[in-house]
C-alpha cells in the first residue's frame, strides 16, 4: 500500500493531468464576506481541496486598507497558511498597495490578483460595481471609462486579472453589445503585454467564450477562480467547461510556480 505522502503526490499528478487542464482554484477566500459571516481554517480548506481534487490558492484581501494593510498583517496572513498545501495569494485594491507593502513581504506571495470592480467616478467617489442597483445612465460613457480603469489595473505588477469583463447588474443584459471587439482587444493586448493571466470566473461566469477565444488567439494566459468566500471554494466546474468549450489546454492555464508537494 502506498504511504500517505505518495498517495497525495499521485492524486495531485492525476488532478493536474485530468482533461489536460489543471484543477486549480486561485480565487478562494476562507474568510467571510463580512465580519458576521463564517470563516474556515486553512486545515478545513485543505480538506475541501482534497475532497474535490482541486488545488487551492487562498487569497487575502487589502493593500493599504482592509484585512491586509501593512507588512505585519501580510506576515500574519502568510504565517497562518504555513505548512498547508495551498498557494498564498493577495487580492489588492486601489493603486497604492506597493507603498504600504514592502517588496520583501510581497515576494513571499505566490501571486497577486486585482480587479476593476471598485470604480472611480469623476467626482472622486468610488462605486462598488458588484452591489445591487448600480446603474449608469450612459452605458457608452461608462464603458469608455471602465476600459481605461481596467487598463490601469492590468498595468500593475500582478499575475491575475480577476473578475474580467464584469458588468454591473443594470448592464449585464447588454454584455455582448457593450464588449465590442475593439474594447476586448484593448484589454487582451494589455494582459498579453504585461504577462497577466485572465481569470475564468465561476461565480460571475465570465468572460464570454468569444472573449476567451479572442484572448487565446492573441497568446493570453488564463487562470481558474471560484471567487467564493468559504462556501463554494474549489468549485470550478464552470471554469473547466468554459475552457474546454474554447479549446484551452494546460499550456494556456497559469499555475503558480511553487510546488505544493514538497
Q: Is residue 261 one of the residues assigned to a domain? A: no
- Report residues of the chain scoring pLDDT below 70: 1-19, 34-35, 262
The three-state secondary structure class of 216 is: helix
Q: Is residue 147 one of the residues assigned to a domain? A: yes
- C-beta separation of 129 from 166 below 8 A: yes
Q: Is residue 170 one of the residues assigned to a domain? A: yes
Q: Is residue 260 one of the residues assigned to a domain? A: no
CA dist 207 and 77 (Å) reads 30
Angle, CA of 262, 91 and 256, to the nearest 5°: 30
CA dist 67 and 65 (Å) reads 7
Q: Is residue 258 one of the residues assigned to a domain? A: no
58, containing H or E segment: strand 55-62
Q: Specify the CATH number for the domain of residue 247.
A: 3.20.20.140
Q: Is residue 228 one of the residues assigned to a domain? A: yes
What is the DSSP code (8-state) at residue 171? Answer: G
Count of structural domains, the chain = 1
Q: Is residue 259 one of the residues assigned to a domain? A: no
Q: Is residue 35 one of the residues assigned to a domain? A: yes
Question: Distance from first CA to last CA of the chain, Å, rounded?
Answer: 21
CA dist 226 and 100 (Å) reads 28
Q: What is the pLDDT of residues 31-53, one digit of tens each?
A: 877 667 789 999 999 999 999 99
> For position 32, what pLDDT does the model report?
75
Residues spanned by the domain of 235: 4-252
Q: 4: exposed, middle or buried (C-beta count within 10 Å: 0-12, 13-18, 19+)?
A: exposed
pTM (2 d.p.): 0.91
> For position 127, what pLDDT does the model report?
96
Amino acid at each position: 500500500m502506498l504511504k500517505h505522502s505518495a498517495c497525495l503526490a499521485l492524486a495531485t499528478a492525476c488532478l493536474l493531468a485530468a482533461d489536460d487542464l489543471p484543477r486549480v482554484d486561485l480565487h478562494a477566500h476562507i474568510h467571510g464576506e463580512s465580519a458576521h459571516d463564517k470563516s474556515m481554517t486553512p486545515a478545513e480548506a485543505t480538506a475541501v481541496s482534497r475532497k474535490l481534487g482541486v488545488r487551492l490558492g487562498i487569497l487575502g484581501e487589502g493593500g493599504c486598507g482592509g484585512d491586509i494593510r501593512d507588512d505585519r498583517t501580510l506576515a500574519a496572513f502568510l504565517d497562518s497558511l504555513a505548512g498547508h498545501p495551498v498557494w498564498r495569494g493577495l487580492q489588492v485594491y486601489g493603486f497604492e498597495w506597493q507603498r504600504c507593502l514592502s517588496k520583501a513581504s510581497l515576494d513571499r506571495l505566490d501571486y497577486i490578483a486585482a480587479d476593476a470592480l471598485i470604480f472611480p467616478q469623476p467626482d472622486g467617489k468610488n462605486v462598488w460595481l458588484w452591489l445591487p442597483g448600480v446603474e449608469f445612465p450612459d452605458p457608452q460613457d461608462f464603458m469608455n471609462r471602465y476600459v481605461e480603469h481596467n487598463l490601469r489595473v492590468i498595468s500593475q505588477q500582478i499575475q491575475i486579472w480577476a473578475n474580467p469583463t464584469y458588468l454591473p447588474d443594470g448592464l449585464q443584459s447588454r454584455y455582448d453589445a457593450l464588449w465590442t471587439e475593439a474594447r476586448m482587444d484593448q484589454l487582451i493586448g494589455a494582459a498579453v503585454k504585461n504577462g497577466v493571466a485572465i481569470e475564468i470566473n465561476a461565480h460571475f461566469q465570465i468572460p464570454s467564450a468569444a472573449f476567451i477565444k479572442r484572448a487565446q488567439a492573441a497568446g493570453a494566459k488564463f487562470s481558474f477562480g471560484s471567487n467564493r468566500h468559504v462556501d463554494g471554494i474549489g468549485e470550478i466546474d464552470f471554469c473547466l467547461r468554459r475552457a474546454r468549450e474554447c479549446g484551452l489546454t494546460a499550456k494556456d492555464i497559469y499555475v503558480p510556480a511553487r510546488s505544493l508537494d514538497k
